Structure 1
Amino acid sequence: MTDVGTRLAQIRRRRNMTQEELAERSGVSADVIRRLEQGRRSGAQLRTLGALARALDVRTSDLLSPDTELDHFDNGDTASLLDIRRILFPAFGADGIPDGAPSTAEGLAAQIDRVQVEHSRGLYQANLSDLTDLIPAVERHVRENPSPEAATLAARAYKILAEVLIQMRHDDLAQDVVKRSMAYAENASDPVLYALCAENAAWIMILHARFADAVATSLHLARLIEPPISSTDRQRLDAYGRMCVRASAAASRNADAGATAEAESLARAAAHRLGGGMVYQMRFGPAKLAIAESENAIVMGDPETALRIGQAVQLRGTPGKRHLLTMAEAQIATRDYAGALATLNGARTLAPEWLKHQRLGRRMVRDLLDVVPIRAARENGLADLAVDMGLRP
């Protein structure tokens, strides 16, 4: 178990503070701090720990709890989600759908397209604001115009909401939204849309470490929509490839090399039929497959392969931003800390709000703070990146 001195040094470094600066801020002598961190002093009085904790802007108990996640990034849980919660879980006697003017199918489709663009750019707060108005409008439209077309609009809107909630770490709330999107897709008699909505269930299973369940779910969905060999249905091929990639991601996290390779092989066949080069596009193809393979490689402990495969992908704009985190993770694993920082800064430039919500990105910045000297962290922008992301030590 980590002792007080080791924990003190870790938090101090993550706060980009030298021993002398901590001494000045806390009133505790630099010699005492040095002895604690070097293990030459086994403990300290509570008032000393309290002074150090206040100077570091943490709780005293945080100095004693090495496994505590010191990340109080709120992500808008209270204010921005309140209206969405009221819609999803209305008070007794209410249906959760506020009154509003009727909307046309064309108008709703245009709104959904715009929200989808926001989502691809990682603008989650804007997403929540727009979805708070869009979801009730879609529900009213379904109520007033029950049809497969209306159900399709509702499924698409709820699918985006589910993905926003997952990205913002509210996957338990997202589970209900996923079910709603699937129900509407089923009412629309659209198996491809149903699979794409249900894919979010597999995503949540991965987040909950239910890897075998996620593999089974993803492959089941792939079989539901598997296109014939001669099929030229790009939408179905795209969805099928996505399901196979999701299965490979779950299998790699389960350390199942055989299942990972099998799912990647299925995805490779779909990518080959779709064609396209290594420039990232929203639709499934060789570039998306390479991104998946590089992520699986880093998960399986092979960062060199992850870099070799992943560096061939050319990103254009924000949609492929998640790949930058995979590359940064591989760079850290190969001790290319300067390269990792450059990659993370590239992600910040591309999608600053999105990066703040990424567990992996936040963990990697902390990892860099642990290994990069304090002076260097101030000079190379790492300290500024940590502040910009709202990181706690």
Structure 2
Amino acid sequence: MATIGERLRSVRKRRGLTQRGLADVAGVSVSLVRKLEQDARRDVRLETLRKIAVALKVPTTSLMIRLDAESADEETLGLWTPVRQALYGLDGQPSEAPTRDGLGEALAASMPLWKQDRYSQLAAMLPVMLRDADALTETDLSARHVRGRLLHLIGWLMTQTRQFDEAEFALSRAMDDMNDSLDAAATISTHCWLLLRQGRLNEARRLATRWADEVEPRISRATPHQLSAWGWLLLRSSAAAIRDNRPGEADDTIRLARTAAVAMGHDLTPGEDFLRTFGPVTVAMKRVENAMIEDRPDKVLQLSQTIPVTDLRPTSNNRNRHLLDVAEAHRRMHRHNEAFEILQGVRRDAPEWMTNQRYARDILKGIIGRRRTLTDEMCDLADFVRLEY
């Protein structure tokens, strides 16, 4: 099997480009092109590889074997060790017999922590909840629905914190517990997000498209649950397509998602499950994300002006990611003060979320990279997001 370096070198030569010529067209450094062709770099960002693919007029995946996805750091792994042990059933049985009502109430009571990205508190609660869920389902099969929802949330959280193997395992277990097609579709949407974060674009696109076809509702009769499930799968498909340098397909699927959002009327949270929040604002933020992937900071800033972020709760699933896109757009337009202020605002709203964002580190690195001196605030934020500078 050809390496990424061999594939890149072959396509570049077929296009009649030198390494420097490719670097100039793609807007990357010639040293990066050289290292990629020598297979000396496997940690390149997916968005950077997409720039090269656009310059070569090929799908991003045609240059890829499998990028090394950045994993969680030691501090993060240490925090989640008890949760991982419970997820794999390695930490014993509960001291008291759990009940389905008790487990459901505990899960409901924990929802504010999920929405507000309170990782340290969740890390303390989840091992107990997992033990209870596993013990309960051994005698009460009707509790599998509650366990499935818990496992879905854990899969989402493991994806968020870059613990990808555990995320895949949790989501697989969650699917085993699902007996409702819309619950399963919501879990698949999160699985597609996991695949996206790993750079597995073809898998994400095909999985999202297949499930979107399966759950597509009749718009005139669709419930919010149906619209949310279908709409999110379309958004995942669009996200995979734009990263794979398939802009036409990305536009088509996001237009369909907008159809679902218009039918929804406004952003709703079906079943009080924040992972399913969907509507026109959600789609608008994903359009901004696609524009950022296309390296259109001007379009990002134009579209973002119509999005009422002050009315949205700061959840990592939408608003915070959107704000990072806006910050990056400001940075690329050389509006470094505006970009820095947005990063500071995200830190205030979601500190535990931000420390897990490589994107935030990359934006800050771009802001301070060419400065001779840094302000105290810049040094403080760099230390906070664990940026080496």
Same fold (TM over 0.5): yes
Give the aligned partner of residue 116 of structure 2. Answer: 121
211-220 vs 226-235, which moves further? 226-235
CA shift, 1:197, in A, is 1.1
Change (3 A) 1:390 1:268: same
Amino acid at match of 2:288: S
Match of 1:103 among 94, 98, 101: 98
Deviations 1:121-147 (A, max 9, x none): 121222222111111111122112112
Change (3 A) 1:222 1:116: farther
Deviations 1:255-313 (A, max 9, x none): 110110111011011001001279xx952111000000000001011111111112321
TM-score by length of 1: 0.74
355-364 vs 202-211, which moves further? 202-211
* Residue 363 in structure 1 maps to residue 362 in structure 2: yes
CA shift, 1:384, in A, is 1.5
Change (3 A) 1:76 1:102: same
Q: Distance in 2 between matches of 1:114 and 1:250?
A: 34
Change (3 A) 1:363 1:223: same
Match of 2:386 among 368, 386, 390: 390
Give the aligned partner of residue 162 of structure 1. Answer: 155
8 Å Cα contact 1:103-1:137 kept in structure 2 = yes
Provide the secondary structure at the position in 2 that maps to 1:390. Answer: coil
Amino acid at match of 1:364: I
- Structure with larger Rg: 1
114-123 vs 191-200, which moves further? 114-123
Give the aligned partner of residue 173 of structure 2. Answer: 180
Q: CA RMSD in A?
A: 2.5
Q: Distance in 1 between matches of 2:71 and 2:363?
A: 13
Change (3 A) 1:344 1:71: farther
Q: Please give the residue correspondences for 1:212-291 in structure 2 after superposition, counting only pairs within 5 Å.
A: 212-276=202-266, 282=274, 283-291=277-285
Q: Distance in 1 between matches of 2:222 and 2:194?
A: 31
Amino acid at match of 2:171: V
Change (3 A) 1:236 1:165: same
The structure, 1 or 2, with the larger RCO (C-alpha pairs under 8 Å, 6+ apart) is 1
Change (3 A) 1:311 1:127: farther
Give the aligned partner of residue 64 of structure 2. Answer: none
8 Å Cα contact 2:94-2:128 kept in structure 1 = no
Q: How many residues align?
A: 314
* Residue 197 in structure 1 maps to residue 187 in structure 2: yes
Q: Distance in 2 between matches of 1:90 and 1:138?
A: 11
* Residue 308 in structure 1 maps to residue 306 in structure 2: no
Give the aligned partner of residue 24 of structure 1. Answer: none
Amino acid at match of 1:119: W
Q: Distance in 1 between matches of 2:254 and 2:43?
A: 36
- Unmatched segments (≥5 aa) in structure 1: 1-64
Amino acid at match of 1:160: L
- Unmatched segments (≥5 aa) in structure 2: 1-39, 45-69
Change (3 A) 1:75 1:198: farther
CA shift, 1:102, in A, is 2.6
Provide the secondary structure at the position in 1 that maps to 2:221. Answer: coil
TM-score by length of 2: 0.75
* Residue 378 in structure 1 maps to residue 375 in structure 2: yes
283-292 vs 382-391, which moves further? 382-391
Match of 1:295 among 286, 289, 292: 289
Q: 4+ residue stretches of structure 1 with deviation over 6 A?
A: 65-72
